[in-house]
Structure 1
Amino acid sequence: MTTRHEPSPPSRFSIAMAPQRTYESGLRVAPGLEHPLASCHCGAVCIALVSPPSEVTACNCSLCASYGALWAYYTADDIVVAAGARTDTYACNGQRVDFHRCSVCGCLTHWVPRDPRRGRRGINARLLPPHWLERARLRHRDGANGGEYLD
């Protein structure tokens, strides 16, 4: 019998951060990620976050509605993608962000802005352990009509 243990969030990253590489996307990649906190269905893409999200966003733009994602926003410094994580990307009409999905199981994992000056990244919160979302505030963004928050 296999038992799945949900990781507990570190107060700061508890993984070895060196050596690391920074890719064009601005995400830091650390080899040997010890505590995956968000992962795709097959486990090939694991993302460590500095803390559970305090809020998550449901966007109703055509792409986010199709994906069915809830977004947790972090800065590039607060995200570490495990080494060896292979993703495919998609940019809706060549727009401002690249959406990453696992190249093995196809789960949408995160988005990264194309403009390196933008610091915010989105992590698909549906890949986080459920107990991490219990206290998160759910926000609704009207991405289909200008991008304002509805609450």
Structure 2
Amino acid sequence: MVLRCSPLNRALGKSKEFKMKLTCHCENVTLILSEIPTEVGECNCSICRRYAASWAYFSPEQVEVTMTKPTDIYCWGDKEVEFHRCSVCGCITHYVTTAKCLDKILAVNMRMAEAEVLSGIAVRNINGASY
């Protein structure tokens, strides 16, 4: 199974120049970014603090997601966000906003990147617990 988050570009035969490739531990899930983020967000909400994720935020057209086996999806509460984890190795790879959310966001867990890549990216603390 191959899922891509940029169907319009694929349908038009356009290819983007991608800048960064991230994978889960087993490489079942691959995320290819059209740009290198300058900042990541570390949120302290009830789920992000448990995932210990470092999120970089994109529009869905800026990220290509491919996988061999489908991800497991977790959606709770107001059902505005779907968290994806690799069904093989268990890494939290990304989340996407649902139709219930006004903003179309694909957030990538930058902890899927190599450590040396992360060292050059600024970290912004997000007080999601206060929402």
TM class by smaller structure: 0.7 to 0.9
Q: Give the direction of change, closer, same or farther, for the CA distance of 1:36–1:105 in structure 2 (3 Å limit).
A: farther
Aligned with 1:42 (options 13, 23, 26):
26
**For the Cα contact (< 8 Å) 1:53–1:133, is it kept in 2?**
no
Q: 2:110 aligns with which of 125, 129, 142?
A: 125
Compared CA separation, residues 107 and 129, structure 1 to 2 (3 A): same
Structure 1 residue 57: deviation in Å? 0.4
Superposition RMSD in Å: 2.4
Quick one: structure 1 residues 85 and 128, their matched pair in 2 at CA, closer, same or farther if it must change by over 3 Å? farther
Gaps of 5+ in 1: 1-19, 147-151
CA–CA separation in structure 1 for the residues paired with 2:28 and 2:80 = 26
Aligned partner (choices 62, 66, 80) of residue 96 of structure 1 = 80
Q: 1:135 is matched by which residue type in structure 2?
A: G
> Is residue 78 from structure 1 mapped to residue 62 from structure 2 by the alignment?
yes
Task: Answer whether contact 1:37 1:129 (CA < 8 A) is retained.
Answer: no
Letter in 2 for 1:72: A
| Residue type at the aligned position of 2:30 | C
- Segments of 5+ residues of structure 2 without an aligned counterpart are 11-18
Name the TM-score, length of structure 1 as normaliser: 0.70
Contact 1:73-1:123 at 8 Å conserved across structures: yes
Greater RCO between the two (CA within 8 Å, min separation 6)?
A: 2
The answer to whether the 8 Å contact 2:45/2:127 transfers is yes
Name 2:44's counterpart in structure 1.
60
1:138 to 101, 109, 123: 123
Name the SS of the counterpart of 1:132 in structure 2.
Answer: helix
After the TM superposition, list the runs of 4 or more consecutive aligned residues in structure 1 that deviate by more than 3 angstroms.
none
**What is the CA distance between 1:36 and its match in structure 2?**
7.3
The within-5 A match list for 1:5-24 is none
* Counterparts of 1:142 and 1:36, CA distance in 2: 27
